[in-house]
Amino acid sequence: MSALEPDDPSSVGEYRLLSRLGSGGMGRVFLGRSPGGRLVAVKVVHSELLRRPEFRDRFRREVRAARAVSGAFTAPVIDADPDAPLPWLVTSYIAGPSLERAVAERGAFEPRAVLALAAGLAEALASIHAAHLVHRDLKPSNVLLAEDGPRVIDFGIVRSVDGDSLTGTGHTAGSPGFMSPEQVSGDEVTWASDVFCLGTVLSFAATGVNPFGRGPTAALLYRVMHNAPDVDAVTDPALRSLIADCLAKDPAHRPAPREILARIGPLGGASDTALLHAVPPAHQWTPTARPARVDAVPTQVVPPPAASSAHPPTRVDTAGPPATAPAPAHVRPTAPADGGRRSRRAFLLSGAGALAALGVGTGFWLNRPGDSGPADGSPPSPSPSSTPSPPPGLVGLWPLNEASGRVARDAAGGHDGTVTGVAWQGPGGGAVFDGTRSQIMTDGPVLKTGAGRSFTVAAWVRLAVVPGTFATAVSQDSADASGFYLQYSSDDDNWAFSRPGRRALGRTASAAHVWTHLAGVCDGPARKLRLYVNGVQEGVVEDTGPVSATGAFVIGRASSDGQPRDFFPGTIRDVRAFDRALGPARVRNLAGPA
């Protein structure tokens, strides 16, 4: 936390601003005080996000969505004004550390504390799912620890503010190591994805390390999809079994949040007396310098599934006008909480200071025995699993998150690329191509592109300048020319997915310094080339001249007459290749929420 800067506002709406909690690419977050004296977190959106008129509408929809969530372990948005010159939102200010910080400072939790944590988080997910939301970024830094239980933060509102494809962030929806396999592969993301993430969070709390180890992003994503999680260090058999079930590769095999609560009931009944400790008075805690989350990953609103006759709808009280929301079939109704159940979760942890929670949440203090040592810091080494198979169709995934080196790791299919003239930006930054010689090439083909073959390529791209020539982000070489091109077309001043002589053209104007998600879909049997820009199909053309490209898969340029050309000037990240034609819904998942 720091003092207000000269260009910071002194107030927003009726809220007086006291200090700055953090800032990022999407906005600034302040500690504020309401007219009645309540401490709040106030987020003010950066003005550049308003360049696209759709942003306000999406922001407004997400305010309504977040207000539909209610529960003991979530918190609603207090106030928001999407129509202000600079849109803003207000959420609760929460005293308590993140789970990430608590484990770093105190080490792994004892099993009964983890079970109590699991109960609170499962109840939070049930509330979120009942409002037809999927969190999509449950991780230790998004779990705050308050005196009366955990709080889940960064959902609903931050989907539009921090992750919408309109903002041009170009970020994958999720956090490496805490993502579900379907998030990595771009498959449909449902409530079961949150349960997988819950399993990683619980394993982290129980052991102090991620169940898929540590390392580069590409390595983590590969292990999430292919390797069995390492949960051997979880000492309690019942807890280990619960975590393993949450981490099932097949979403259909994961327990629903209400099932988790039912399993925890008999396991954690004694945790109240074991975990209750004294906590310093609230006035002793002051905000720490931990930045507020302003770069959160989008939360996806999902349509309500058909109600199950076995599980009637759950009523959800909103922060706005009273409303009811039918619960998804897999979210079971919650019985009114009794005092005993709440006290069992009021376990405490002595430790660091107060945090500002933007989105949902306030936090809780976990207690563990005083002799808990620090995490050992040694990463587990997940062993390959013989049963999980790669997500359907994904044959290549290059996050391009390396910090250095001449190899671009493939997290999916083992097609690592050789790097020439690329400047690495580190995690989340992508790879910068100079437009004259930069390229990444695999040793051989990744896709089969001949007649009748279907495939999909996708990438986040950002032009440094709008070039006067063609600029190709992804291609695959053949003897004479590339078999396909995902590119900027200077002839048309637009994005294109092309074969030699054929182009499916976009409608969204190309601009420098704007992240854009491109996906090219070749439907072999239908003989169609389709271009998607930011998850929306913008162009389609007959594929009358399919080319069988048997050369290298290339990021950053194309080839013509056997020579490299059409080098890309700008940044590329999260390149994916599929051996099938993806449908519109799955392409939207790749690009983020629609």
Residue 152 CA to residue 138 CA, distance in Å, equals 8
Pairing outcome for strands 88-94 and 15-23: unpaired
Q: What values do phi and psi take at 25, rounded to 5?
A: -65, -20
Q: Is 137 a catalytic residue?
A: yes
Distance CA 254, CA 200 (A): 13
Burial of 424 (0-12, 13-18, 19+ CB in 10 A): middle
- What the block records as the tokens of 47 is 């003005």
DSSP bridge pairs for 28: 23, 44
Which strand (E) or helix (H) includes residue 416? none
Give every CB contact of residue 510 below 8 A, 6+ residues apart in sequence: 463, 466, 488, 493, 494, 495, 516
Q: Is 468 exposed, middle or buried (0-12, 13-18, 19+ CB in 10 A)?
A: exposed
Please list the residues that pair with 571 across neighbouring strands.
432, 462
Catalytic residue among 8, 57, 83, 137: 137
* 3-state secondary structure labels for all residues of 133-165: EECCCCCHHHEEEECCEEEECCCCHHHHHHHCH
- Nearest to 318, CA basis, from 76, 59, 74: 76
Query: What residues does 463 pair with on adjacent strands?
Result: 512, 570
What torsion do the CA atoms of 81, 85, 91, 93 make, to the nearest 10 degrees? -150
Catalytic residues: 137
